[in-house]
Structures are given as C-alpha cells and as structure tokens.
Amino acid sequence: MTVAIFYKLLAIFLTVGLGFAAGRMRWLGDLQQDPARVLGNAAFYVFVPALLFRTTVRLDFAAMPWPTVAAFFVPVLGMLVGVYAWQRWRPGGQTDGPAAPAVRAIGASFGNSVQIGIPLAAALFGEAGLGIHIALVSLHALVLLSVLTVLAELDLARAGAPGRGALLQTLALTARNTLVHPVVLPVLAGLAWNATGLGLHPVVDETLVTLGSAVVPVCLVLIGMTLAYYGLQGRAAGALRLSVLKLVLMPAAVLVVAHWGFGLSGLPLQVVVVMAALPAGSNVLIFAQRYATLEAEATATIVFSTLGFVATASAWLAVLSWLG
C-alpha cells in the first residue's frame, strides 16, 4: 500500500475521530435531541440527492465500458440479493425491524468507491484504470441504492399490510414509497433530464457541486458521532461478519464471475476486483439511519472493514499479480 493511500485512510479516521469527539463532548446536543439523526437526514435528503442527480445528468451512456460494468455489477447484485435473502428468511432475521435484511445487505455490498477507491485506482492503475473505476463509480450508488430501496420498502409495506388481501395495497405502497424517495427520485429526474440532452446551467451545476461535496465530510463526521452516541451495543459480531463478506467474499465472487464468466483479464479485471474489495462506504450508515435500523452495526461495519482493508487489499493485489 502506497504512502498516499495510507494518508488517505488516516485522514478518514481522523475525520471520524472528530465526529466521535463532537458526539462525546455533546457539541451538537445530547442524545435526546439526536443530532446524529439530524445530520444523517441532512445528508440523505439534501446532499446525497444533489450528488445523485448531477451524476445521473452527466452520465455518458454511449461511452460506458458495458462488458466491464456487467462483469462487476452481476456478481455484486448477486451478492446483495444473496445476503438479503439469507437475512430475510433465516430465523430471527427481521427481529431488528422489517428493513434489517436490506440494511445488512448494503453493509456487505456497498464499497467506499470514492474516498478510498478513487485515489487507490489512480495510484495502482494510472489514468486508464482510473477511467474504468470512474465508470463503475458513476453507476455504483445509482444501482445499489435503488435496488436496496425497493427491497426495504417492499418489506416495510408488507409488514404494514399483512394478510392475503393486502397484495395490491403492499405493491401500491411499495411503488409510491420507492418512487417518492430521496435516492430514487433524483435518479429518475436525472435520467429524464439526461435524455433531453440540455445539460446543466453553470449556476445549477455549481450549486449541485457545492451540495454534493458535503456528502463525504458530513458522512465521516456522522460515523464518529454515531459511535459516540450508540457505541457498538452488542453489534460487533454482526459487523465482523459483514466485514468478512465485504472484504473477502465480495471480491472473490467478482473475480470468479468477471474472469471465468465474462472473460475479463488484465487491467479491467484488476480494477473490478479491487473495487469489489473496498471497505464499506459511508452510505451504509446513511441507509441504516434512513430506516432507523441497525445504526450501531452499520457504523461498526464501516470502521472494522476499513481497518481490515489494510491487510486484505495487499492480499487481493497479490492474487491479481499471480493471475497475471
């Protein structure tokens, strides 16, 4: 691991530490006022939608390396659905609430593709590899958060409308809550605006850039505050399991499917495997807070997987080197 990447990881932990100090010192209020949730809502309802809308409007679908994109997202979505199904139907899988399976699925599948992923791709693979990584990043949150939102809203609607005669009510409630959602709605609006080919006015674009740039620092501070307010609360074991899934099983699945399924090799294979091997991203906590479910476990998953990434990244780079 290069010095630059180490410094990036250190900066992330220092920012999280600042949030932890703010939470312990109650600089933003006490637990009864719940400033962590207020900060999370600001990120989820203002900053993240601005980032998603701008990203979607600026997507150049014709220039996408679609075979590489498919080689990454097919196994990632398979892993996401697999973890969700395991949590959804195992005994006690929903004791933490109807949205718990989706929250655990995002912890095992959603990587820190920006704060860690972009500088890592630039350092390891140069401009060509960074271009592939950016193409994946542009669809990463759009695809995973949209799928997870549908799953979470479906479970919430099902829990609120039990009984045989409630199928239509469940589907209608799921559709409404999925479409009128701070993740899906800006994506749909961005796709619609993208189709017009009009682009963004410089003032609008600058406004969205300003709002979107707040996502990273706000989320990192939020992670620290959540640790200070809630601690681990017996969630360490679950967070460790999700961290192993994210750091070991996820990149292994992408390696197998991309290399032997899609025939990827060389630089594209290296980029998709390293992206799959990234630790859990801050959107894991934002998603957990949106559904008021497993915030402590989501926070611990981010911290544990980021610490573990120091060791597992080197191991996956060695595997890729061995494959040539």
**pLDDT tens over the chain, length 324 residues:** 567 667 777 877 788 787 778 777 765 666 555 676 777 777 778 888 888 888 888 888 888 899 999 999 999 999 999 999 999 988 877 788 899 999 999 999 999 987 788 888 888 888 888 889 988 988 898 889 889 988 998 888 888 755 444 556 666 666 666 666 677 788 788 889 989 989 898 999 999 988 888 877 887 787 777 777 766 666 789 999 999 999 999 999 999 999 999 999 999 999 999 999 999 988 898 889 888 899 989 999 998 999 899 899 999 999 999 987
pLDDT attached to residue 28: 62
Q: For residues 290 and 183, give the distance between their C-alpha atoms in angstroms, rounded to a whole number.
A: 11
Question: What is the Cβ-side half-sphere exposure of residue 212, based on CA atoms within 13 angstroms?
Answer: 16
Closest CA to 44 of 183, 206, 146: 183
List, in order, residues 6 or more apart from 245 with CB less than 8 Å away: 79, 83, 108
pLDDT of residue 178: 64
Q: Report the b/e string of 61-99 with b at 16+ CB within 10 A.
A: eeeeeeebbebbbbbbeebbebbbeebbeeeeebebbbb
User: By three-state DSSP, how is residue 111 classified?
Assistant: strand
Looking at residue 165, its pLDDT comes to 47
Q: Would you list the domain boundaries of the chain?
A: 3-66+93-242+280-303
> Over the stretch 47-85, which tens digit does the pLDDT of each residue have?
888 888 888 888 888 888 999 999 999 999 999 999 999
Residues 6+ positions from 21 with CB-CB distance below 8 Å: 27, 224, 228
DSSP state of 61: G
Q: What is the C-alpha to C-alpha distance for residues 200 and 58, in angstroms, rounded to an integer?
A: 9
Q: Looking at residue 164, what is its pLDDT? A: 44
* 280 SS3 class: strand
